[in-house]
């Protein structure tokens, strides 16, 4: 359901505007998975909300979107670099007070549009085994599950999905020295996160090309 008072802004996860998202997501992750041990994270792993710094959700490879209503942040989502043709969506969120209004669908549509415009061919994302509403949303939006839907989600852990959105896209184009330098920093930052999270293994298509060729 659209609301004439809703506006979409490009922001950062460390901004004041993003604080409602960060606080609510952190609470949700902590409470839903307080007694869950299926993620097999190292003891020194940062919390889920701290795992990805603001850098990765910014240009040239990423973006961070927030939906505001009457000046208050009510939904949002972000994407970052995964490989030369693939963006990874993270932090899809709707305020608990504004659910069942189609806002998650709107955020996903905005993210998909931004990802295609950036030059990516496809999208990869994961959700947790205790978030059936997110799993069902991605299935309804045409994402292909890269796991057995008949298996107990808690035995799987993170549930991966993928979707091709722009088959002819060949990846983001970096313009100028600043883009290339910032893009390199983003790719290295994403690479470091694999110390604490599993590297994506099951994919619709193999990763294409080396980062140095971008």
pLDDT tier for residue 211 given thresholds of 50, 70 and 90: very low
Give me the pLDDT at residue 179, please: 97
| Residue 206, pLDDT above cutoff 70 | no
pLDDT tier for residue 1 given thresholds of 50, 70 and 90: low
The chain-wide mean pLDDT, for the chain, equals: 92
Q: What separation in angstroms does the CA of 116 have from each of 110, 119, 141, 193?
A: 10, 5, 16, 24
Per-residue pLDDT, averaged over 185-194, amounts to 97
| Residue 74, pLDDT above cutoff 60 | yes
pLDDT tier for residue 144 given thresholds of 50, 70 and 90: very high
Q: Considering only residues 38 and 196, tell me which one the structure prediction assigns the higher pLDDT.
A: 196
Per-residue pLDDT, averaged over 100-129, amounts to 96
Tokens read off for 23: 């606080």
* pTM to 2 decimal places: 0.92
Give me the pLDDT at residue 212, please: 36
Shortest CA distance to 7 belongs to which of 94, 65, 80, 69? 69
| Residue 123, pLDDT above cutoff 80 | yes
| Residue 214, pLDDT above cutoff 70 | no
Tell me how crowded residue 214 is: count the other CB atoms within 10 A of its CB. 18
């Amino acid at each position: 359901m659209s609301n004439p008072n809703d506006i979409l802004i490009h922001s950062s996860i460390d901004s004041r505007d993003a604080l409602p998202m960060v606080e609510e997501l952190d609470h949700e992750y902590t409470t839903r998975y307080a007694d869950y041990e299926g993620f097999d994270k190292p003891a020194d792993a940062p919390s889920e909300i701290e795992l990805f710094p603001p850098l990765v959700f910014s240009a040239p490879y990423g973006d961070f979107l927030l939906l505001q209503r009457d000046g208050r942040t009510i939904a949002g989502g972000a994407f970052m670099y995964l490989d030369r043709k693939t963006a990874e969506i993270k932090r899809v969120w709707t305020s608990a007070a504004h659910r069942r209004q189609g806002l998650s669908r709107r955020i996903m549509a905005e993210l998909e549009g931004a990802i295609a415009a950036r030059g990516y061919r496809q999208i990869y994302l994961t959700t947790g085994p205790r978030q059936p509403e997110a799993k069902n949303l991605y299935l309804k939006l045409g994402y292909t599950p890269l796991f057995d839907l008949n298996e107990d989600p808690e035995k799987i852990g993170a549930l991966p999905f993928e979707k091709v959105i722009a088959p002819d896209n060949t990846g983001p184009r970096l313009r100028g020295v600043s883009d290339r330098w910032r893009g390199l920093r983003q790719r290295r930052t994403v690479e470091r996160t694999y110390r604490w999270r599993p590297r994506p293994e099951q994919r619709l298509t193999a990763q294409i090309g080396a980062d140095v060729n971008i």
